[in-house]
Structures are given as C-alpha cells and as structure tokens.
Chain A
C-alpha cells in the first residue's frame, strides 16, 4: 500500500466543469509534486511545492491550479480542461527538498482523469 493517498481514483469531467484532485501524505515530507502521465509514457513533472510554497511550475497551462493548504495536503484544481488533458495524474512526496539521492520520491497511485 502506498503512503501517498490520492482521491478520487477516477474522474470523468466535461470541458466546462471545475473539479479538484487531492493528495495526502502523513510521512512528514516537506516536498510534494504533481506529475502528468500518459499511457505507457514516463511521468512529466508539473509542479513542485517545497515547505508549502510553489517552487517549480513547468510551464503548465493556467487551467491547472495547484494549492498546498498545509504540509500534508496537495490539491490540483482543474477548470476548462481539454480532451488532451486526459491522463493519469500522480502526486509524489519526498522528505526534504534536498538531494534526490538521499530523498527519494514516493508516488501515489494517481487519479485517472478523462475529459469528455
């Protein structure tokens, strides 16, 4: 069982809907990540939060809006998405925003998002 919990597991939404993806970890990790993964492809980094502050935005369209309400929670707010945004959205966390070799990223099982 993964220690990073993502909800919902599946989400179907229309292009005009507003929805949110949620991620939770209770490992005391201070860095949290959002990735997008298309089928049989590697994950692509979207956002990084370090100590609840946005550290990296990989030029993600504004229809994706991240939020980190506290050190355990990470949200991804979705609005006016396009069909090409259909993908698996993965959340990950690591202990400290330090050297990756000492601070491996732990992934959740993702939210499978389908845009109609």
Chain B
C-alpha cells in the first residue's frame, strides 16, 4: 500500500498552461516536502509545509498543505520548459529520519 498517493504520474503540457499536482494520504504528516529532480541530478528541495492550511509561494509555484495535514498540492502557473522534471512529494511522520516519498509526477513542458 502506497502511503502517499501522488497524481498524475505523467503530465505533458504546452508552455503557458497551468497545472496542479496532488499528493494524498490517509495518514497525518508532521510536514511535507516538495522536491524537483532533473535528469542526471539529485532531488532539489522546493518547499517544506508544516502547518495545516499553509500556503507557500515560490515565484510561479504555489504549495498548499491540507487542513488535516494529510494532503498537499503543487500548482504551477504559466508553465515554462524549465519546469520540466520529476516532482516528488515526501512526508515526514515524525520519525526523525524517514521521508515517505510519493511515486512522483514526471512533468514535460513543451515549447
């Protein structure tokens, strides 16, 4: 059973379109991280959300943590080809070390 369900798994869109990636669970998380990974590189941390209902913005990216801290979303406005990559959500259940990763969303933004 996948603890963190991430959707969609694949997304191919045109430059300028908007998109939303979802990360859902039946479990409560102490925090949730979003990473972006480009080919040949390691995951790069985009944001950490901690408080239920929290919204964080990073330029054209908006991250939201659900009120019950069981789900999160990433919304990208006016996607650019440079946004292409594997987006990973990862939750922390307070275990000190262990991140539970979603399966990832492979985003391709076509020029």
Contact = CB atoms under 8 A, between A and B. Distances in A.
Contacts, number: 72
Given A101-B48, A107-B43, A45 B99 contact: yes
Contact of B101 (A33, A43, A98, A110): A43
Given A2-B42, A31-B97, A109-B41, A101 B102 contact: no
Interface residues of B, number: 26
A98 B96 contact: yes
Interface string A46-57: 001010000110
Contact of A101 (B92, B97, B98): B92
Contacts of B102: 42
Given A42-B104, A99-B30, A101-B48, A4 B97 contact: no
Contact of A56 (B40, B98, B101): B98
Contacts of A26: none
Interface of B: 30-31, 33, 35, 40-45, 48, 50, 86, 88, 90, 92, 94, 96-99, 101-104, 106
